[in-house]
Amino acid sequence: MTLQLITYVLDTASIGAAVSVLPRIIFGFDPVPPTIYDKLGLTSDVYGAFCSGLLLLSCLKWALRKWWRKAHGGEKESMYGLQHGRLHLKLPTPMWMNMGYWGHEVEASTMAEACRDLLKMVLREAGFSSEVERAEIARGTRRPKVLIDLGFGCGDQTIYLMSDTSVRSCDREWWDEREYCPKFDHYIGITKDATQHRYARKRVEELIGHGQEQRSEPNISLFCADAATPGPWTTSWNKDIKSCIEDVLEVDPDRWVLALDTIYHFSPSRWPLIKYAHAFQASFMAFDLCLSPQATRTQRIILRILTALMGAPWANFVTPVEYRRKLVEAGYPTDEIKIVDVSEHVFAPLARYLEEQDARLKMLGLGIGSFSVAKYMFNWWGSSGVVRGVIVVARR
């Protein structure tokens, strides 16, 4: 950072030198008023020599840079480079966004596949599967299922949970057999992000238009609201959400709340929401973050600063043991609680992917932007173990 600052100052000074000296060299007049020399305590000749030195330094730096690229690049610098690759980027593109599960069995090759796999792992740990679904139907014991999805993103997650087939051509890049995905009879999604809410609504409209290929039209309701607002479920959200939930409860469904890589952002903490989920007679499943029991005092201080920057209340960072205790306090039976640590398949692999993706995009004159900071954070989490990525399931 210091070297970049010095280079920036020198480049700026060189531009000033060019403005000051070149008119004298080329046209024979001095654009700097004599009063400036008096204030600086310099003569015109000394000032001219100083500016000429800056110009010479800038030219030398330019020549050295050209030589270095030629000597170490092995190729002649291209006039056009690779920026025309932008013209081949395809839209629409997958818009999944979570930390992903970069599995040991079949390594995900794209961000969308890893995000899908994290959802699959949560569903699998919750006990869902197509085989279980078929067995319940055969026995006549299947109950309607309602899912309240807290923080559903841009709609890819919704499409995966509620559609029998892919909708967009880009969906086919990450679509699979959905072997752990049951049939949810009602889907209620809540997100605080208005932009993502609008985007997801368009995706659902496409899904409904795609309905002739579905076994039935999906029952999906998407709302833009703060799911973390304290208060009873029937009063904490607006009347539309309240009415939608009341309609769903008439069929006495099997109720689930999903928070995929979202609930550690809930303010003032996640715990009021989890208590309301139990009062709602809903089971809870999530990918969440915990604090390592071995975290040092220094690590805790650094992490507390980072969590403030990422908008995650410090009250949400507890150890897995404390997390389990909080779930029991909320009313979930201790033998129905499962907390599975999947950190090794999340943080370090995600940091590597971000590094590789940044390099690929920079070849086209792009980059991953603000995610560069997240790359270093995930790498620290992966190498130090200070934060644990866990799948949480608490059955009612």
- Concatenated DSSP letters for 10-74? HHHHHHHHHHHHHHHHHHS---S-HHHHHHHT--HHHHHHHHHHHHHHHHHHHHHHHHHHHHHH-
The pLDDT assigned to 244 comes to 87
Give, for all 396 residues of the chain, the pLDDT tens digit.
444 545 555 566 566 666 565 566 655 666 666 666 565 666 666 666 766 776 677 777 777 777 766 666 555 555 567 888 888 888 999 999 999 999 866 667 899 999 999 999 999 999 999 888 888 889 988 899 999 999 999 999 999 999 999 999 999 999 999 999 999 999 999 999 999 999 999 999 999 987 655 556 789 999 999 888 655 554 556 778 888 888 887 777 899 999 999 999 999 999 999 998 998 899 999 999 999 999 999 999 999 999 988 889 999 999 999 999 999 999 999 999 999 999 999 999 999 999 999 999 998 889 999 898 899 999 999 999 999 999 999 998
pLDDT for 2 equals 44
| Contact criterion met (CB below 8 Å) for 120 and 129 | no
Closest CA to 279 of 324, 329, 339, 334: 329
CA distance 282 to 290: 22
- Please check whether residue 109 is in contact with residue 269, taking contact to mean a CB–CB distance below 8 angstroms: no
Residue 217 sits at φ, ψ, to 5 deg, of -70, 125
Contact assessment for residue 152 and residue 197, using Cβ atoms and an 8 Å cutoff: no
Q: Which domains are seen in the chain, by residue range?
A: 2-77 (no CATH), 111-394 (3.40.50.150)
**266: Cβ contacts below 8 Å, ≥ 6 apart:** 227, 228, 273, 313, 316
pLDDT (0 to 100) of residue 80: 64
DSSP 270: S
How many whole angstroms separate alpha carbon 365 and alpha carbon 70? 20
Q: Which helix (H) or strand (E) covers residue 297, if one does?
A: helix 297-309
CA gap 46, 13 in Å, rounded: 16
CB–CB of 51/58 below 8 Å?
no
Q: Read off the DSSP letter of residue 129.
A: -
Q: Which residues of 172-204 are buried (b: 16+ CB within 10 A; e: fewer)?
A: eebbeebebbbbbbbbbbbbbeeebbebbbebb
Contacts of 143 (CB under 8 A, 6+ apart): 252, 253, 254
Cα separation values, 320 from 272, 283, 312, Å: 18, 18, 17
Place of tokens 């086209």: 364
Distance CA 102, CA 147 (A): 25
Q: Which of 207, 205, 259, 212 minimizes the C-alpha distance to 391? A: 259
Res 324: pLDDT: 98
Residue 367 CA to residue 359 CA, distance in Å, equals 7
Place of tokens 């040991």: 104
Burial class (CB in 10 A: 0-12, 13-18, 19+), 263: buried
Task: Report the run of H or E that residue 362 belongs to, with start and end.
Answer: helix 347-362
Distance CA(85)–CA(70), nearest Å, equals 23
Alpha-carbon gap, residue 155 to 161, rounded angstroms: 10
One-letter identity of residue 79: M
- String of DSSP letters for 172-235: GGT----TT----SEEEEEES-HHHHHHHHHHHHHHHHTGGGSSS---EEEEES-TT--S-HHH
Q: How far apart are CA 160 and CA 95, in angstroms?
A: 12
Whole-Å CA distances, 356 to 165, 166, 360, 361, 370 = 31, 28, 6, 9, 15
Across the beta sheet with 145-150, the strand order is 220-224, 186-191, 145-150, 254-260, 283-291, 387-394, 337-341
